[in-house]
Each structure stands twice: as structure tokens, then as C-alpha cells.
Amino acid sequence: MIAIIAGGYILWNPPWTLDSHAALPPPPPPPVPVQVAAVTPRDVPLYLGGLGTVQAFNTVTVKSQVDGQLQKVAFTEGQPVKTGDLLAQIDPRPFQAALDQATAKKAQDEAQLANAKRDLQRFEDLAKQGYAAQQQDDTQRALVAQLQAQILGDEAAIANAQTQLDYTTITSPIDGRTGIRLVDQGNIVHAADANGLVVVTQLAPISVIFTLPEDQLAQVRKAMAAGTVAIAAVSSDGKTQIAAGTLALVDNQIDQTTGTIRLKGTFPNGDGALWPGEFVTIRLLADTARNVTTVPARALQRGPDGYYVYVVAANGTVDIRKLKVGQIADGVAVIDDGVTAGEQIVTSGQYRLQPGVHIEAKSADAPS
């Protein structure tokens, strides 16, 4: 019975049929959808990058130059002010009294001088007629000169008293923004006080102090010799420009402890995008590379031996190509070696790829 069943199975499934099924190759995997872009030549700005700190263009600690009671605080904390705007008022009455006293002393001396001049004229007339001694005439002449000198001293005292009175009206020395009030109204302030009344900072324009490695100094100096050097403050991820400015100066010595050189940039800062004390990344435009090979930065992959990209072959597969990469900025990578203009490279979907895999290529700007 078993033999009959086995014979029927063999007749129903002959051995050559089983061998033909086993010999069929597995179906190929579907192509991997990716986005591609062409390697293109273009002009690329070459940047030098460094970290910097924003500093106010001018900072003034406003202090009282005379002693007295702070009668009035005329500013609001954090408000913008112009040069000459009233910030505070100190009790002017003692200083006005001193000015009035000096003015009165001058008037008194002027009256004495006028009388002394009349007496001198009389003595001169009598001396000519022989009725007065020459010594008396000389003494009167000396008195007139003494009173004239005294009036000059009175004028100096008046000028000093006027200056002290003017100091009671405290105004902003610069255009800027006030900080936190350091003294409240009603307090007695002194010229010797260390803290002052308020700090005014100039925010427009504004400065940034940043550093670069010392080996980049030659590039910076070459750029400065060619004209105005543009700089930009960018966000921490390097993608968003915060403000644009120009390089103002390079420090006159290299910091030997860090091997860096300090530079100072100036930004108009009309929109207040930069703030004193803020840390920013600075990009300095050192040069423009002409007709260099570039790829989109998103095409770059990083391996143990450096950067590489997937290059599309003529048969629709991909291969790995190691690269020598120069600058990467603004989403564009400059390629010193590894690919040539016109080649197609993968810009999206690399995680599913390996050498020899077939792809379904779409342009990087085509809808997915």
C-alpha cells in the first residue's frame, strides 16, 4: 500500500518539476527612490569663521560731578535717549547761591575799580601841575591794576560757579539706551560715588570682538588690502544671518597663549538684532573662489575615512565616492577632489543605499 502511494506522488510531482522550481532566481528588489542633483561648478564665497562677543559701541557710566540731593530722575529704565536728553536733576539752590555771590563780588570790585580810576586821573592831573607827589600817583596806579586783577579772579569764580550749577543738570553724553537705575530719587549723591546713576550704552552702531586662528591672519590682511571686508553674524547653527557689518580692525598682537588674533567688527544694528554681551558666530568673507566644483551639503555622508557621496552610475546603480571637501557654508560644499562637474549624486535617501543598488532617481527640486 505504501509503495502505491509513493508511486502516485512521484507521478503527480515528477523530480524534474521540483528541480525546475528550485532553479528559478529570486525576483530583484525594487529600486530605491532617492533624490539626486548634479555636481556643478560655480563661484563660491570663502569664509573664515570665529566666535565673538557683542560689545556696545560706547558705554558711559553717568555720574554726578557735584554733591547734592537727587531731586529728579528724568529717565525710564531701558528707554532710548539722545545726546543732551535730561537724565537727572540735583538740587541747584546751593550752587545758584554761590553763583550769585560770585557775581555780586565782581560788581563790588568793579565799583571800587571805577572809583580808583577816577582817583588816579585826579592824581595824574595834580602831578602834572606839581601839586601831587609822584609816589602817590604810582600807588594809585598800582591799586587800579590790583583791582583789575581782582575782577579777573571774580570772572573766574563766576565761571566756576556757573559750571558747578550746570553740573546739577545731568544729561546723556551719547545716543543710546539707559540701563537699570542705580540711585533712587531723594538720595544724596557725591562726585566720588563709584557706581554712578545709570549706565548708557550705544547700540547703533554696535561692535563685535571675535577671534580667528593666527594662521588665518595672512588671508585677513590680504582681504583688507583689497578693500572693505564684509562680515556677518550668524545663528549658532550657521544657517541664519542675524546682522551684516564690516571689519573695523585687527588687533596689533597675537595672543600667544591661545594662538589666536582678535578682530573687531562694526554693525549698523538699526533693528537691534545684536545686544551687548551676546555670543555670536562671525563669518568673514576672505575671498571668492571662481568656478569651483560644488555639491549640495546634504549629499555629504561621513564615514570613518572622511566624507563620501553616492554617485549615480550609467546603469542606474550607485557607487560610493570618497571626497576631499573644502568649505561647507550656506548649504553648499566645495569639493577639492572626488567628483567632477555633471555627475549625478544622491542628496536624499542615502540611508537605504549600498554600492550596486538600483535607484529610482528624482531631481532634488521635484515633488516627492
Averaged pLDDT, 194-199: 94
Nearest-10 crossing angle of helices 93-129, 134-167: 170
pLDDT number for residue 366: 45
Averaged pLDDT, 342-363: 88
Question: Across 23-27, 44-48, 197-201, 362-366, which has the greatest mean pLDDT?
Answer: 197-201
| pTM of the predicted protein model | 0.71
Number of H helices, E strands in the chain: 5, 20
Q: What's the CA gap between 321 and 134, in Å, rounded?
A: 115
- Burial letters 301-318, b for 16+ CB under 10 A, else e: beeeeebbbbbbeeeebb
Predicted confidence band of residue 15 (pLDDT cuts 50, 70, 90): low
Angle subtended at Cα 86 by Cα 80 and Cα 91, rounded to the nearest 5 degrees: 145
pLDDT number for residue 250: 96
On the question of pLDDT at 46 being above 60, the answer is: yes
Q: Which fold has domain 32-43+291-363?
A: 2.40.420
Alpha-carbon 37 to chain mean position:
37
pLDDT number for residue 345: 93
On the question of pLDDT at 175 being above 90, the answer is: yes
For the segment(s) 48-57+203-290, the CATH number from 1.10.1740.10, 3.30.530.20, 2.40.30.170, 1.10.10.60 is: 2.40.30.170
Predicted confidence band of residue 367 (pLDDT cuts 50, 70, 90): very low
User: Do the Cβ atoms of 99 and 162 come closer than 8 Å?
Assistant: yes
Q: Which residues pair with 261 in a beta bridge?
A: 212, 254
User: Over the stretch 234-256, which tens digit does the pLDDT of each residue have?
Assistant: 987 777 889 999 999 999 999 99
User: Over the stretch 84-143, which tens digit does the pLDDT of each residue have?
Assistant: 999 999 999 999 999 999 999 999 999 998 888 887 787 677 767 666 667 776 787 898
User: Over the stretch 202-240, which tens digit does the pLDDT of each residue have?
Assistant: 999 999 999 999 999 999 999 999 999 999 999 877 778
Query: What's the mean per-residue pLDDT of the chain?
Result: 88
Q: 244: which residues sit within 8 A by CB, 6+ positions away?
A: 230, 231, 232, 233, 267
Q: What's the CA gap between 26 and 28, in Å, rounded?
A: 6
Averaged pLDDT, 43-54: 92
Give the number of C-alpha atoms closer than 13 A to the C-alpha of residue 92, restricted to the C-beta side. 16
Residue ranges in the chain assigned as alpha helix (H): 2-12, 15-22, 93-129, 134-167, 217-226
User: What region, left, alpha or beta, does residue 203 occupy, with left being phi > 0 and alpha being psi -120 to 50 degrees?
Assistant: alpha
Alpha-carbon 224 to chain mean position:
18
Angle subtended at Cα 83 by Cα 79 and Cα 89, rounded to the nearest 5 degrees: 75
